[in-house]
Amino acid sequence: MTTEEEGQDPRAVRALRGLEDGNASVRMRAAMGIGLDPQLCFVEKLVEQCAIEPDFSVRETLTWALVRHPASVAVPRLIEELRSERAQARSQALHTLSKIGERQAWPAITRALLADTDDEVARSAWRAAVVLVPEGEEAGLAGVLATQLGRGEREMQLSLSRALIALGEAAFATLGAAMTDTDPRVRHHAVATERLLRDPDAGFDLAIEEAKRVAVLQDRPGGA
C-alpha cells in the first residue's frame, strides 16, 4: 500500500487500482462500483482515467460514475481538464459536463473549444454548449456555431446541424445569413440545417442533396 493509500477504505483502494487494470472488463467493474458508492476521493482518478481510457464503453461508465458524484466537486475538476493538451481529455470532460448539466460550467465553453481542431472535441463542445447555454444567449451561441458550417464530412455536419436545431428559433437568423455564404459547402450545410429546423422529419442526406440541387438552379443564368 502506498503512502497515498494509507488510511483509505480498502474497498476504495481496490476500486482505484481496478481502474488501472490492463483488462477493460476489470476497469468497467471498478468504474461501476465507484458509481454505486461515490466518494470524493474518486473524482480525481476518474477524470484522469477519462483522459487515457481506450475503451469507449469504459469511458461511458467513467462518465456515469462522475455524474454520480457531487457537481460541486466534479465540475470544477472537469473545467480544469478543458485546458489539457490531450484531445481525449478535453472531449471526455465536455461530454461529462453535458451529462451533469450544471450551468456554472457555461463560461468554460469557449470559442476555442467550439472551433477546436480536433473533431471529437468540437463535437463534444457543441453538444455541451446547447445543454449549458443560459436563456437569452442562444442566438449568440448560434452565431459561433455557424462559423463551423461546412466542416468535415456527413457525421460531423450532422452533429453541428443537431446542435443548431436544438437552439430552435434562435438559429434562424444565423442560418439565413449563412445560406448566402460564398463557400458552397457552408451554403449547402446551412440550407439543409434550416430545412431540418422547419421539418424535423426530413432526412439529413436528403436535405443536403436538396440544398445542392437548389444551389445549382440558383447559380444558373436567370436563377431557378
Whether residues 49 and 104 fall in one domain: no
Dihedral pair phi/psi, residue 18, rounded to 5°: -60, -30
Last residue of a domain, one of 23, 51, 67: 67
- Residue 75 sits in a domain whose CATH number is 1.25.10.10
Position 157 scores a pLDDT of 94
Whether residues 150 and 224 fall in one domain: yes
Position 24 scores a pLDDT of 97
Cα–Cα dist 85/132, whole Å: 23
Position 89 scores a pLDDT of 98
Position 219 scores a pLDDT of 54
- How many domains is the chain built from? 3
Whether residues 191 and 224 fall in one domain: yes
Whether residues 176 and 146 fall in one domain: yes
Position 3 scores a pLDDT of 37
Whether residues 181 and 143 fall in one domain: yes
User: Residue 126's closest CA among 171, 85, 59?
Assistant: 171
Please give the C-alpha separations between residue 222 and each of 176, 178, 181, 187, in angstroms, as whole numbers: 22, 22, 19, 19
Q: For each successive 10 residues of the chain (224 residues), what is the average pLDDT? A: 54 90 96 95 97 98 98 98 98 98 96 98 98 97 97 94 94 93 93 88 71 56 49
Could you list the residue range(s) of the whole structural domain that residue 57 is in?
A: 1-67
Last residue of a domain, one of 111, 132, 153: 132
Position 1 scores a pLDDT of 43
Position 115 scores a pLDDT of 98
Q: Which DSSP letter does residue 118 get?
A: S
The grid coordinates listed for 91 are: 472531449
Whether residues 160 and 205 fall in one domain: yes
The grid coordinates listed for 134 are: 443560459
Whether residues 142 and 213 fall in one domain: yes
Last residue of a domain, one of 16, 45, 67: 67
- Residue 14 sits in a domain whose CATH number is 1.25.10
Whether residues 128 and 161 fall in one domain: no
